[in-house]
Amino acid sequence: MDDIFWPSVSFAEKALRPAIIYLFLVVAFRLMGKREVGQFTPFDLIVLLTISNILQNAMIGNDTSLLGGITGAVTILALNRLLNWLLVVSPRRFGFLEDAPTVLIENGQIRADALRKELVTFSEIYAALRKHGVDDVAEVKQALLEIDGTISVLLRRAQDS
* pLDDT value, residue 96: 79
* pLDDT value, residue 53: 84
Are residues 106 and 93 part of one domain? no
Are residues 154 and 128 part of one domain? yes
* pLDDT value, residue 65: 86
Among 73, 97, 121, give the residue marking a domain's end.
97
* pLDDT value, residue 37: 55
CATH number of the domain to which 117 belongs: 3.30.240.20
Are residues 14 and 80 part of one domain? yes
Are residues 81 and 15 part of one domain? yes
Are residues 133 and 68 part of one domain? no
Are residues 85 and 6 part of one domain? yes
Question: Do 11 and 63 meet the contact criterion of CB atoms below 8 Å apart?
Answer: no
Instruction: Fill in the DSSP letter of residue 149.
Output: S
Are residues 145 and 113 part of one domain? yes
* pLDDT value, residue 158: 64
* pLDDT value, residue 126: 95
Are residues 108 and 92 part of one domain? no
pLDDT tens by residue, the chain, 161 residues:
567 788 888 888 889 999 999 999 888 877 776 655 556 667 777 887 888 888 888 888 788 888 888 898 999 999 999 988 998 898 888 877 777 899 999 999 999 999 999 889 999 999 999 999 999 999 999 999 988 788 999 998 865 55
Among 50, 67, 97, give the residue marking a domain's end.
97
Domain that holds residue 91: 2-97
Nearest Cα to 30, choosing from 147, 134, 161, 151?
A: 147
Are residues 59 and 111 part of one domain? no
Q: Where are the alpha helices (DSSP H) in the chain?
A: 2-5, 11-32, 34-38, 42-60, 66-89, 91-94, 112-118, 122-131
